[in-house]
Amino acid sequence: MLGPHQLKQITPRTPRHLRYQENMSAVFRAMSAYFSRDNVALPGVALFFKVYSQIEINDIWFFVEFLTKRGQHPQIGAHAAPPKDFHRTDCSDVLYCFEKALALVKCQYTKCGMLYKTAADKGDALAVGFSTYLIDAVSIKLKQLAHYVAHLKVVENDKHAIKEFDRRLPYEIEDLAKSTGAEAVIPSRLMIDCVKRSVKTETALMNPECFDDIKSRRVFNRVI
């Protein structure tokens, strides 16, 4: 029996939405495990998908809290087993996984839009506010993934560019992880600062002219 604050049109959509987010989290977790392998060795990409998996888990619990406030009984069922291998011969593994992630998030955006439309048509203000939050959160992920996919298409056949992309991902994902409550899975600030210093030092080794003043250049030359 539904309470007066529940809508029959909204209730059937929520279990399917939860299941879809569970599947997304599992796929991102599988991608993270794949790029963590010793024969793939792209830790930055692995961390990226680990953060995205945690974001989906956090959103699931946020969804569950929303449903329980409305007196519903959310069901978190079993999800489909994700693929274990993402190796491709027609394109790079990184590009394939980012394109797949972008497709999943696009579908998620469509589902959130359907939830918003149903809530708006029925005058459910609480569900409208909740679905608006979901749409905003998904929009951020869409923009980020689309940017990375476009970049990876340009450098698809350049292994050095992909390694550089992998190296910069850990601290590019930091802000999104903090804003979504997924910062527990990223390295500490000290480790990220070490990565930044390492990138800066390697850049300087390749081009000492990057130092702005003569004094810094002298110190650098004395060190090496």
Q: What is the CATH number of the domain that holds 62?
A: 1.20.1260.10
d(CA 94, CA 87): 9
Tokens representing residue 55 in the block: 């974001």
Tokens representing residue 145 in the block: 């993934």
Residue 50 burial (C-beta neighbours within 10 Å; 0-12, 13-18, 19+): buried
Question: Domain range holding 159?
Answer: 13-187
* pLDDT, position 66: 83
What are the pLDDT digits (tens) for 175-191? 777 766 666 666 655 44
What are the pLDDT digits (tens) for 1-35? 444 455 555 655 677 778 888 899 999 999 999 99
Q: Is residue 214 part of a domain?
A: no
Q: Is residue 92 part of a domain?
A: yes
What are the pLDDT digits (tens) for 133-153? 889 989 999 999 999 999 999
Res. 124: pLDDT tops 90: no
Res. 192: pLDDT tops 60: no
Which pairs count as long-range contacts for 98-101, CB under 8 Å and 24+ apart, including other chains? Answer: 98/145, 98/148, 98/149, 98/152, 99/149, 100/27, 100/31, 101/27, 101/28, 101/31, 101/49, 101/52, 101/145
Between residues 70 and 189, the one the model is more confident about: 70
Q: Is residue 56 part of a domain?
A: yes
Among 41-45, 88-92, 150-154, the range scoring the smallest mean pLDDT is 88-92
Instruction: Report how many domains make up the chain.
Output: 1
Average pLDDT, the chain: 78
pTM for the model stands at 0.75
Is 164 annotated to bind a ligand? Reply is no
Q: Is residue 87 part of a domain?
A: yes
What single string gives the DSSP state of each residue in 1-49?
---TT--TTTTTHHHHHHHHHHHHHHHHHHHHHHHTSTTT--HHHHHHH
Q: Is residue 2 part of a domain?
A: no
Res. 224: pLDDT tops 50: no
Tokens representing residue 22 in the block: 């569970």
